[in-house]
A and B are shown apart, each in its own frame.
Chain A
Amino acid sequence: MQKVGIVGYYQVKLYSDANYGRYEMIFEASRGALDKAGLKKKDISTVISCTNDYYDGRTISNCFTVEVGGGYMADESKVEMDGAHAVLYGLMRVLSGNHNLAVVWGGSMASCYPYHAARLYETDPTWERPLAYVNDITSAGFQMRAYMEKYGVTAEEIAKVVVKNKKNAAKNPLALEEAQLANLSVKDVLNSGIYADPVTELMVAPPCDSVAALLLAPEKQALKITDKPVWIKGVGYNQDAYYLGDRDLSGCKSMNLAAKMAYSAAGIKDPSSEIDVAELFEAYAHEELIFAEELGFADKGKGAEINSAINGDLPINPSGGALGGNPPCGTGLIRVIEAVKQLTGEAGEYQVKGAKKAVASGQIGMCAQNNILYVLEGN
């Protein structure tokens, strides 16, 4: 694969109810990324956004973001999935050879709409909706129980993921304030409000407001823009069956296949020794363990045994992950940005020492139906 570099980024701080207008937030992210890279509007040749019509309260939701996202009189398009999928679209645009700079931005404001209620409308209207009340949280309950049951994983082990990520979030100034919990205990997690047993409130990535932006450039351009580009060495993506009943919920096959694809592109043979840090989009705490296993960091059912703290053997979500705040359409993009920060040494208090290779993932759908994984490497 021709080398494509990440040459800039910007993330608006996560808020549960941001004192921002939608336009201003998008502008802050896109302009911020451009400023950080020392570029101008005229340098932009393509803009890929990730938003959702429902979440934005209007149809063709990229029509109103043209000016604030930098798309005015430029090549512009939208992905209605996760921000990490928008990075893939941007990457493809750059690989086409027609573009020297792609702006990829994504995010929404969950304070403006009922996020989990909206996801109730994700189930099949003819077969599933009439039968039972199932939204993303209920289906996460299905998955968490199937995973625990198959491998004998305990709720405490899953709660430990929450404790770790919220503690990491406390070191990340851009994480959601409500999620920055340095002194959380396993007991607190298990005793927090039950959402869909066995899933408790603190195991759910809290929907919030934010927008993030990322800049992509082909190799030659990237080296002109910055002396610290981060290279996309491999990408893999995969889509599992729509019906929950057609899938093995105790694992995540689409993540497994996405990882295989990304690893083969990047030439990764032994992920647990070659990867220095992972930023994974865990919409629910148990997903982090399932993903870690599918990524080859541990055997099936043994995800909880990885020492994934910031100074551990294989740090996972040092930024706090999605449990540190989940702005719909932005979360996967933020994972990519956080992995970039680790590789350029800009992660501050949650910097993983000597990180050279990282993976970042994005997902969409119930029980992480669709997964995308990037292998990134510092210059």
Chain B
Amino acid sequence: MSKMTQRKSLEYIKKDYKRTRTLPGSWYLASYKFKFNITHMKPFLEKLKEKKLIANQCSSCNRVFFPPRLVCGKCFVKPDKWVDIRDTASVSTYAISYLKDPETGEVQQRPMVLVHHDGADTTSIAELAPDVNVKDTYVGMPIKVHWRDERTGGIMDIEYYDKVDDDSDDLRYKK
């Protein structure tokens, strides 16, 4: 009889289970090529190199999308206009994440924010500058794009967002 295909052993995790055993396996789809369209964002990517921001607009509902969207879900058409938007923005909402460094075990407090750019109708996910104290973050906080020194024409050209001095009247009500 051939022993070529015989299974030699199975490494079970011996835990205090009465009726079951656990067999460690891997199901880790680490490798994937995300294919995405750049035609609708090429002008936007080009402008990033010049530290300029543009968004696309749906001429049917007039919503301004930043970052640019391929399709306006509401009207089911492609946004067909480009508009300039500012590099100033405000914090729409935020959550503070606690990220543990797997090597040092050090826990970093980082505010994850939804950024609302002046002139846009949508918000986008971003991080704030490392020097912004998480305790000082608030909804409506004015922020500004911090550009990467070497820009390559990609979304990562926006390194993070810097805090801007807040001179709005409602601030005194806020605190």
Q: Which residue of A lies closest to B34 (CB)?
A: A125
Determine if A132 is an interface residue (Cβ-Cβ < 8 Å): yes
Q: Is A143 an interface residue (CB 8 A)?
A: yes
- B94 contacts partner chain A, Cβ-Cβ < 8 Å: yes
**Given A58-B27, A144-B95; 14 other pairs, CB 8 A cutoff:** A20-B20, A57-B27, A125-B32, A126-B34, A126-B155, A131-B156, A132-B125, A132-B127, A138-B112, A141-B112, A142-B93, A199-B95, A245-B92, A249-B93
Q: How many A-B residue pairs have CB under 8 A?
A: 105
Q: What chain B residues lie within 8 Å of A125 (beta carbons)? A: 32, 34, 36
Q: Could you list 7 A-B pairs, sorted by A, with CB under 8 Å?
A: A19-B20, A57-B25, A131-B125, A134-B125, A146-B139, A195-B98, A246-B65
- Give chain B residues whose Cβ lies under 8 Å from the Cβ of A241: 73
B17 at the A interface (CB under 8 A): yes
Complex CA gap A131/B97 in Å reads 14
With contacts A125-B34, A149-B139, A196-B112 known, is A133 near B156, CB below 8 A?
A: no
For B18, the chain A residues whose CB sits under 8 A away are: 19
Q: Are B95 and A196 in contact (CB under 8 A)?
A: yes
- Tell me, rounded to whole Å, the shortest Cβ–Cβ distance linking B104 to chain A: 17
Q: State the A residues within 8 Å of B (CB).
A: 19-21, 24, 54, 57-58, 113, 123, 125-128, 130-134, 137-146, 149, 194-199, 241, 243-246, 249
Contact B125 A245 (CB under 8 A): yes
Inter-chain contact B139/A145, CB cutoff 8 Å: yes
Q: Is B155's CB under 8 angstroms from A133's CB?
A: no
Q: Specify which chain B residues have a CB less than 8 angstroms from the CB of A128 in the assembled complex.
A: 124-125
Indicate if the CB atoms of A146 and B97 lie closer than 8 Å. no
Complex Cα distance, B112 from A325, in Å, reads 27
Residues of B within 8 A of A (CB): 17-20, 25, 27, 32, 34, 36, 65, 67, 69, 73, 92-99, 110, 112-114, 122-127, 134, 139, 155-156, 158
Q: Assuming A131-B127, A196-B95, is B19 touching A20 (CB within 8 A)? A: yes
CB distance from A185 to the nearest CB of B (A): 24
Closest B residue to A199 by CB, please name it.
B95
B124:A245 contact, CB within 8 angstroms: yes
Chain B residue, CB-CB nearest to A128: B125
Query: Which of B18, B32, B112, B134 is packed against the most chain A CB atoms within 10 Å?
Result: B112
